[in-house]
């Protein structure tokens, strides 16, 4: 039996993105981007401010926040994928800031990392 999935009115997976997290329909704005502004420790923004800045309905911003607060597995997979790519490219090296160029990642290594992070996806 598959888990119950929420039907989002304003969110969808962006078919042009390699990420699995949801975005605002037709806008390519990640829900996590809006949530990050809402939860910003230094300068949190109100739902109204975010909606105005992005020219979105209030309900779309509320939905993006609710989605992120639900801690969806695809969001965690995207974080893990980014972390593994950064590690493979040497961006976690303490001296990275001095040379500033990521190591090239072979297509095979990138595919291996993708399979680890998104096991249900066929590559």
pLDDT score at 53: 97
Instruction: Answer whether residue 2 is part of any domain.
Output: no
Does one domain contain both 59 and 87?
A: no
Does one domain contain both 53 and 99?
A: no
Q: Which of 69, 88, 104 is the last residue of a domain?
A: 69
C-alpha to C-alpha distance for 123 and 107, rounded to whole angstroms: 12
Residue 82 has pLDDT above 60, yes or no: yes
pLDDT in tens, 45-54: 999 999 999 9
Q: What predicted TM-score, i.e. pTM, was given to this entire model?
A: 0.81
Instruction: Answer whether residue 17 is part of any domain.
Output: yes
For all residues of the chain together, what is the average pLDDT? 91
Total structural domains in the chain?
2
Q: What angle, 0 to 180 degrees and rounded to 10, lies between the N-to-C axes of helices 58-69 and 31-38? A: 90
Instruction: Answer whether residue 122 is part of any domain.
Output: no
- Are residues 30 and 23 in contact, defined by beta-carbon separation less than 8 angstroms? yes
Range of the domain at 88: 73-117
Does one domain contain both 58 and 90?
A: no
Does one domain contain both 26 and 55?
A: yes
Does one domain contain both 82 and 48?
A: no
SS3 30: strand
Cα distance from N-terminal residue to C-terminal residue, the chain:
24
Does one domain contain both 39 and 78?
A: no
Furthest-apart CA atoms within the chain: distance in Å: 51
Q: Which of 69, 84, 104 is the last residue of a domain?
A: 69
């Amino acid at each position: 039996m598959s888990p119950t999935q929420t039907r989002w009115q304003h969110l969808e997976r962006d078919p042009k993105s390699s990420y699995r997290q949801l975005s605002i329909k037709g806008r390519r704005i990640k829900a996590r981007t809006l949530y990050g502004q809402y939860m910003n420790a230094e300068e949190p923004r109100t739902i109204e401010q975010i909606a105005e800045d992005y020219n979105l309905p209030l309900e779309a911003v509320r939905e993006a926040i609710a989605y992120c607060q639900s801690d969806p597995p695809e969001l965690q997979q995207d974080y893990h994928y980014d972390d593994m790519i950064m590690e493979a490219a040497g961006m976690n090296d303490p001296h990275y800031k001095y040379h500033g160029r990521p190591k090239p990642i072979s297509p095979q290594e990138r595919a291996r990392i993708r399979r680890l992070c998104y096991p249900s996806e066929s590559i």
